[in-house]
Chain A
Amino acid sequence: MSASTQALSPPHRDPDTRARLGWTLVALVLLWPLLVLAEFRPWALFDAGNLRVMGSFLGGFLPPATSTEFLGYLLDATLETMAIATAGIALALLLAVPLSILSTRALAVSKIGPGPGRLGDRMARAAGRALLTFLRAIPEIVWALMFVRVLGLGPAAGVLALAITYGGMLGKVYTEILESIDTRPARAILEAGGGRFAALAYGLLPNAAQELTSYTVYRWECAVRASVIMGFVGAGGLGQLMDQSMKMLNGGEAATILFVFLVLVLFADSLSATLRRALA
């Protein structure tokens, strides 16, 4: 230990300094081999040969397709994609809402004291979390591949796949949002004999509604993108259209489809902003 650290008398030294330095070092030591493993070499992008390849790939997208016939297909596919994403999120909510209410510690009345039933409650919370983990651990594309085999080509497979994976993601994040806001109002209601739903509605939702809404809308946006990937395996919507365009090496059509994505993402953004303002 150096003389200068000894010179600082203990009460004037931040006791957390050593831990912070330590964790920073640990993070760096862990990050390095991960970057090597992931073959992180961004400078390769600026190689003259690679730049030419990317340029001709992107050049193939121009000009965007605007034929009336294609735009007709595009409109149908866009509506189908929005329907898949919306129905998928709606079904996902049916899984996520009850599971997050079950799993969140913010509504655990038996933790107060702790009181009766804490063992059962703890097991229920662990089971809820485990189920949420399972639901989101398997990528939606895997579910889509399976459901396409069972239900045949079309949007139904995409909807079910989204419902399962996104149910798990929404449920996990809802659980954590409910724990990260001020939980004293809900606790006060539980301490005055109120039930779980009352504590949620009067104590947590007023503070959490904005976060919950913006995460849900963001997930809808992700579902739009995910439905494209699933479209490649035959689950309908813009993805299926994009798959056909790519197979026919029609970059112009792909460009128009990508433009529709941009519009959908912008739409999700403004919807989120509007809802947040309404709930402020």
Chain B
Amino acid sequence: MGFELESAGLTHGNGFRALQRVSLRVGRGERVAVIGPSGAGKTSLIRLLGTALRPTEGRLDVLGANPWRLSAGALRRLRARIGTIHQSPPIPPRLRVVTAIHAGRLGRWPAWKGLLSLLYPVDVAGAHAALARFDLADRLFERCDRLSGGQLQRVGIARVLYQQPDLILADEPVSALDPALADAALGELVAESARSGASLFASLHAVDLALKWFPRIIGLRGGEVVFDLPTARLTDSMLHELYAAEGAMLPVQARDAAAGATTDPEADAKVIRLDTSRGR
């Protein structure tokens, strides 16, 4: 099993209810996208699933276990099987790319191996292979502060693939990439999930990318699930209703890049052609 939430809620420390009555079930190997306006609770949901935050109501099961009932050791082993791609990669700027990738396996490696790898990288080939999937193999020994924002974001994705998790959580993983790279990076994530059987749960800002790469889409607004449907059954009006507060246009990847196209009312119609881009 991937994960299961049963009427889960999350109230932040300041009393803000970021999630309420969220019930979801995602199976092993399933690929699901969550979309919704900014502030909808996407990041909160992903942090809940990544066991970084604890639900204040309801029940959570991840990879067949309730993480908050586990012992410290078992929780650590569970966390090693969950890979979270953060929206801004949590990588110290002075780290070299190879080290940043290796950090993905620290949950599996014994402590001595992790420390040894700082002196001499123990698995250069593995890190190289992970980077090669994102066209960054030549940056292996570069320092992370010499990378662009988009390159760093791809290093963050490569690191989670190197972790080889059973559940991949991705919080707006391609927000800093241009359309072609974003598309390719999502393709790699989907391919990895297909190859390894890991479930993939990604929040996306760009609706067109969600429609293209994910067979199931969850709409989140105000901390509540508005819809949870196979991509084929989503309609334009559902999407427009989800983003009603953000104006008439849906946020899409391709338009963000094409300068000037934002004012072209036809851009929408071109990109959100549901029947042509519908789920794979």
Given known A182-B92, A192-B107, A193-B77, contact A113–B114 (CB-CB < 8 A) = no
Give me 11 A-to-B residue pairs in the complex whose CB atoms sit less than 8 angstroms apart, sorted by A's number: A109-B72, A115-B72, A116-B72, A185-B90, A191-B50, A192-B80, A193-B76, A197-B111, A202-B114, A206-B92, A280-B94
Q: Tell me whether B92 and A193 are in contact (CB under 8 A).
A: no
Instruction: Kindly report which residue of chain B lies nearest to residue A117, judged by CB atoms.
Output: B72
Q: Is there a chain B Cβ closer than 8 Å to A51's Cβ?
A: no
Q: Is there a chain B Cβ closer than 8 Å to A252's Cβ?
A: no
Residues of B within 8 A of A (CB): 50-54, 68, 70-72, 75-84, 86, 90-95, 99, 102-104, 106-109, 111, 114-115, 118, 163
Contacts of B93 in A (CB 8 A): 206-207
Majority SS of interface residues in chain A?
helix
Given known A113-B54, A203-B92, contact A189–B106 (CB-CB < 8 A) = yes
B63 nearest CB across to chain A (Å): 12
A212 to B82 CA separation, bound complex (whole angstroms): 32
Which residues between 110 and 139 of chain A lie within 8 Å of chain B, taking CB atoms?
Answer: 110, 112-117
- B-facing mask of A186-211, CB < 8 A → 1, else 0? 01111111110111011100110100
Q: A115-B75, A117-B72, A191-B51 are in contact. List 11 more A-B contacts (CB 8 A).
A: A113-B54, A185-B92, A192-B80, A193-B76, A193-B79, A197-B114, A198-B103, A198-B106, A198-B111, A203-B103, A207-B94
Q: How large is the interface on A (under 10, 10 to 19, 20 to 34, 35 or more residues)?
A: 20 to 34
Instruction: Kindly report which residue of chain B lies nearest to residue A191, judged by CB atoms.
Output: B52
Q: Is there a chain B Cβ closer than 8 Å to A52's Cβ?
A: no
A156 to B50 CA separation, bound complex (whole angstroms): 53
Contacts of B99 in A (CB 8 A): 202
Q: Tell me whether A193 and B106 are in contact (CB under 8 A).
A: yes
Neighbour of A113 across the interface among B51, B71, B90, CB < 8 A: B51
B11 nearest CB across to chain A (Å): 14
B95 nearest CB across to chain A (Å): 5
A120 nearest CB across to chain B (Å): 9
Q: Tell me whether A192 and B84 are in contact (CB under 8 A).
A: yes
Contacts of A188 in B (CB 8 A): 84, 86, 90
A199 to B83 CA separation, bound complex (whole angstroms): 16
Contacts of A116 in B (CB 8 A): 70-72, 75
Given known A115-B68, A198-B114, contact A193–B90 (CB-CB < 8 A) = no
A207 to B92 CA separation, bound complex (whole angstroms): 6
Contacts of A203 in B (CB 8 A): 90, 92, 103
A248 to B90 CA separation, bound complex (whole angstroms): 62
A172 to B106 CA separation, bound complex (whole angstroms): 27
Q: Tell me whether B111 and A195 are in contact (CB under 8 A).
A: yes
Leading 9 A-B pairs by shortest Cβ distance: A193-B107, A193-B80, A194-B106, A206-B92, A193-B79, A188-B90, A198-B106, A113-B54, A184-B90
Q: Tell me whether B92 and A201 are in contact (CB under 8 A).
A: no
A209 to B81 CA separation, bound complex (whole angstroms): 30
Contacts of A115 in B (CB 8 A): 51, 54, 68, 72, 75
Instruction: Kindly report which residue of chain B lies nearest to residue A192, judged by CB atoms.
Output: B107
A189 to B83 CA separation, bound complex (whole angstroms): 10
Contacts of B104 in A (CB 8 A): 192
Instruction: Kindly report which residue of chain A lies nearest to residue B100, judged by CB atoms.
Output: A202
Q: Tell me whether B72 and A113 are in contact (CB under 8 A).
A: no
B114 nearest CB across to chain A (Å): 4
A194 to B78 CA separation, bound complex (whole angstroms): 11
A227 to B279 CA separation, bound complex (whole angstroms): 74
